Amino acid sequence: MQSFNTIASLREELAKHKGQSLGLVPTMGALHEGHLSLIIRSVAENDVTVVSIFVNPIQFNNQEDLQKYPRTVDDDLKKISEIKTDKTILVLVPSVEEMYPEPVKETYHFGAIEEVMEGPRRPGHFSGVAVVVRRLFDIVEPQRAYFGEKDFQQVAIIRNLLEQIKYPIEMVPCPIVRADDGLALSSRNMRLSPAARAMAPAIYDTLQHAVEMSEYEDVEDVVEWVLGTLASYHEVNPQPDGLKFEPEYFEIVNDTTLQPIESWDDAKGVVGCIAVWLDGVRLIDVVRFR
């Protein structure tokens, strides 16, 4: 593993690997097993893997969230270095000034797929994601790019971005990695208090039960049950320090268009996407119904 703080030095190293297949794994650091699974898959499928570690300020509409986002670069590099492989892994750890030497002027629009779920709740978020991902594409010029399906809407956004810019890059969505208790792994999990971390798996437990309910309940009833179950969880299961779930949304959508469905027969592929606040931390998850 080699790490680089400048784009020029990474590009210089990449020039030595001309003709080899390249995989890109964009991350914001605070790496966990989910990130490592993306890197391991890229290593298996490419000659060279580039991992970026960059907390992208322009995708945060909440500045407090940006300031609190965990930054653990030394530990991240250690974890990457411990991946057992004889293939090349290169890590780009740029500063904000390195990535954005000039004020960012470009914006991206994604139509209906950004008008649901995360879109209206995080104005400018997906345009900020698209800006940094495109810059990474231009820097690395990969054949493949790897993204986790926990950020299900983001995967759709990146797929749409590739259609807009017409880059011949294969986007590889990778399955959610979960802790033994079912909680979807996320860098934000490390901000949870011990009590909140013990409570958080109830999100996935609720989603799993919702899948079972889909066999005999209407879509609207399942949505209401999930939101109500989480909102009232602390009443049934009293928590220390008054901890409670604050569901922001739960939507059952077509897995291609991301538009909400009214009937289970409205789409061949159906997923449920949720965002829940707990202990001041915003957690997201996805479950497949069909």
Whether 32 is a known active-site residue: answer no
The tokens 């930054």 sit on which residue? 71
C-alpha angle 113/187/90, rounded to 5°?
90
Residue 76 tokens read as 């991240």
Q: From CA 275, how far away is CA 93, in angstroms rounded?
A: 29
CB neighbour list of residue 115: distance below 8 Å, 6 or more residues apart: none
Would you tell me how many other CB atoms lie within 10 Å of the CB of residue 85?
12
Is the separation of the CB atoms in 230 and 202 below 8 Å? yes
The tokens 């909440």 sit on which residue? 62
Residue 126 tokens read as 């997906």
Would you tell me how many other CB atoms lie within 10 Å of the CB of residue 249?
16
Catalytic residue among 35, 125, 209, 234: 35
Give buried/exposed letters for 262-276 (b at 16+ CB in 10 A, else e). Answer: eebeebeebbbbbbb
First to last CA, the chain: 40
| Residues recognised as catalytic | 35
